Amino acid sequence: MDITLVQGDITEQRVDAVVNAANSSLMGGGGVDGAIHRAGGGRILQECRRLRDTSHPDGLAAGDAVATTAGEMPATWVIHTVGPVYSASADRSHILASCYRRSLEVAEELNAATVAFPAVSTGVYGWPMDSAADIAVRSVTESSPTLGEVRFVLFDAQAYEAFSRAL
Ligand code: ADP
């Protein structure tokens, strides 16, 4: 499996699945979540609503992942995962690691060969970038799924450099 890094916009990636740093309501939000819903169009929200009506009445727990199609984006799937909110007093690293592990499990179920991840939890949820990058890289490396490529898509140079160091 190749692990690659690019600086850019995850909504433009030509991969089988893009991962969304969603919130547990699955009803959209700001940051990468807002960008994915805007780029993919209303179909993603429709499918999220259906998930809430059927399999996920209470929403998606932090650390878990679930898929919808990707609407108008180049990707085929969106894998929604919910990162933990950063806490300096409680170690939630295992939850952040689980986001990557569970997203890759869902990707395998979908037969997705290429998957793009944003830096989950590093925006509104406040996780320090260097620590988030270490956890992300370790979790993906240890998951060793049968995928062709896992691509980290970092929005700015600071995030790109942090992931570069972690790798
Ligand atoms: P969270 O709530 O998990 O912290 P955010 O969406 O607020 O999620 O931020 C997660 C990361 O995604 C941040 O590093 C932010 O800079 C980045 N980001 C925001 N928009 C995009 C985008 N279009 N493509 C890739 N990364 C993005």
Tell me the pLDDT tens digit for each residue of 11-59: 999 999 999 999 999 999 999 999 999 999 999 999 999 999 999 999 9
Q: What is the 3-state secondary structure (H, E, C) of 12-68?
A: HCCCCEEEEEECCCCCCCCHHHHHHHHHHCHHHHHHHHHHHHCCCCCCCCCCCEEEE
From ligand 1's centre to the CA of 62, what distance in Å?
Answer: 16
The verdict on the CB of residue 18 being under 6 Å from ligand 1 is: no
Kindly list the distances between the CA atom of residue 89 and the CA atoms of 86, 104, 116, in Å, as whole numbers in the listed order.
9, 28, 30
Model-wide pTM > 0.90: yes
| Phi then psi dihedrals of residue 38, to 5 deg | -65, -45
Q: Give yes or no for residue 31 CB within 6 A of ligand 1.
A: yes
Please give the C-alpha separations between residue 40 and each of 9, 94, 110, 140, 154, in angstroms, as whole numbers: 13, 30, 19, 25, 19
Query: pLDDT value at position 138?
Result: 97
pLDDT of residue 145 exceeding 70, the answer is no
How much is the mean pLDDT over the chain?
Answer: 97
- pLDDT at position 81, please? 98
32 CA to centre of ligand 1 in angstroms: 4
Q: Hey, whose CA ends up nearest to atom 5 of ligand 1?
A: 123
Instruction: List, by residue number, the catalytic residues.
Output: 33
Which residue among 6, 92, 155, 158 has the greatest number of ligand 1 atoms within 8 angstroms of its CB, and so is best to mutate?
155
Q: Give the pLDDT score at 64.
A: 98
Q: Cα(126) to centroid of ligand 1, in Å? A: 11
